[in-house]
Amino acid sequence: MQPSTPPSPAAPPIRRDYPSGALAFPHRDLTGIGHLARHEILYVLDEAEQWFALNRQSQKSVDLLAGLTIINAFFENSTRTLLSFEIAGKRLGADVVNMHAATSSVKKGETLIDTAMTLNAMRADAIVIRHASSGAVRLIAGKVDCPVLNAGDGQHEHPTQALLDALTIRHALRLPPGSDLNGLNVTICGDILHSRVARSNILCLTALGAQVRVCAPPALMPAEIEAMGVSVFHDFDAALAGAQIVMMLRLQQERMQGQFIPSPREYRHLYGLTLDRLARAEPDALVMHPGPMNRGIEIDSQVADHPTRSLITQQVECGVAIRMACLDVLTRRARAVPGWAQGAAA
């Protein structure tokens, strides 16, 4: 099956009539894709297009968020997501402050709520949070007065990753703004159980009309995941047949308590994406990975570095644009943008 709009460089933008003002995105926070309607996802993707274009210019910054303070509170280590949010905030002209759990009072035993109240009292205009526990971001969102963006909570959600993946796919297939991913075949393979990226991507891709397959050994497959609208595979070759997009996930060895797989070598034998394996997918199938990669385990370097098939660096590029769009949209109420000043639901 093909996407509802055939890929063509000259395809004109699809004009979508979004609800006006804050009704286009009536959420104070972005805690997960699960809360978003299809048109709200598309709205963020379309908003990101302008920032994607800006980021390719030599003059990359605007003063849209001048005077606003954004706190990146990362209770779990991160390099690329933190950097991406920091660059996004700075390119929009905001003051960006990073709080690393390793150097904060969290190490001294302060509770998460106390930390949240402290950040709130410092009058941040948006807080970006990553935390190792599922639901932690929503817990904080209920205690602070400003918009909260989820940069990954435990094994629950990582919404900006799913949005940037959707934008990457749209660009790679040369789909114009406004397009959904109707009918696209996507295979997600790897440690689904421990992956918040998988959950957010399943929610986002199925909302946009894609057919999603998930593939993992049984020990790394969450129970009853079929209920999320995906088909379940344990055989990687079978899962690849007909796939137009192959999304590989990192083997999260640090989250694994006990033995889920006999060895990384054996995992590679069954689930590693090699060039030979990739040949079982559609002839022009594209490969994605949220990073950081375990080269030689879930993905071979020849695949990861493939000049035409790998979208991994494009994902990083789209990440900045998506995060700029999210920061812009969620701070519109604070900036009293016409149509957004009131009425936005919490």
Partner 1 sequence: MIPRATTIVGGRLVLPHGAPQPGAIRLAEGRIAALGAITPEPGDSVIDAGGQLITPGLVDLGVFAVDKPAFHFGGITRAALMPDQGPPLDHPARVRFAAQSGKPDMWVHPLAAATRGLDGTELAELALMRDAGARAVATGRRWIADSGVMLRLLSYCAMLDLVVVTHAEDAGITGSAVATAGEMATRLGLPSAPAEAESVALARDIALAEVTGARIHVRQVTTARALDLVRAAKARGVRITAGVTPAHFMLSDLELADFRTFCRLSPPLRPDHDRRAVIDAIADGTIDVIASGHDPRGPEDKRLPFADAEPGMAGAETLLSLSLTLVRDGRIDLARAFDLLAGAPARLLRVNAGVLQVGAEADIALVDPDRAWIVSSDRMAASAGNTPFDRRPVEGRVTALFKGGQQIG
Name the site residues for partner 1 (rule: CB under 8 A).
34, 111-113, 131, 133-136, 138-139, 153-157, 196, 199, 222-225, 227-228, 257-258
Q: Closest approach of Cβ 196 to partner 1, in Å?
A: 6
Q: Closest approach of Cβ 5 to partner 1, in Å?
A: 30
Q: Closest approach of Cβ 226 to partner 1, in Å?
A: 9
Pick between residue 122 and residue 219 the one whose CB is nearest to partner 1: 219
DSSP line for 140-172: HHTT-SS-EEEEEETTTB-HHHHHHHHHHHHHH
Total Cβ atoms within 10 A of residue 286 = 23
Pick between residue 218 and residue 338 the one whose CB is nearest to partner 1: 218
Pick between residue 89 and residue 154 the one whose CB is nearest to partner 1: 154
Pick between residue 153 and residue 180 the one whose CB is nearest to partner 1: 153
Q: Closest approach of Cβ 228 to partner 1, in Å?
A: 7
Pick between residue 223 and residue 345 the one whose CB is nearest to partner 1: 223
Tokens describing residue 211: 């057919």
Instruction: Tell me the C-alpha distance between 167 and 324, whole Å.
Output: 13
E-strand ranges in 223-312 read 231-233, 245-248, 286-288
192 with 221: CB under 8 angstroms? yes
Q: Are strands 185-189 and 245-248 parallel, antiparallel or unpaired?
A: parallel
Q: Closest approach of Cβ 254 to partner 1, in Å?
A: 14
Buried b (16+ CB within 10 A) or exposed e, 175-188: bbbbbbbeebbbbb
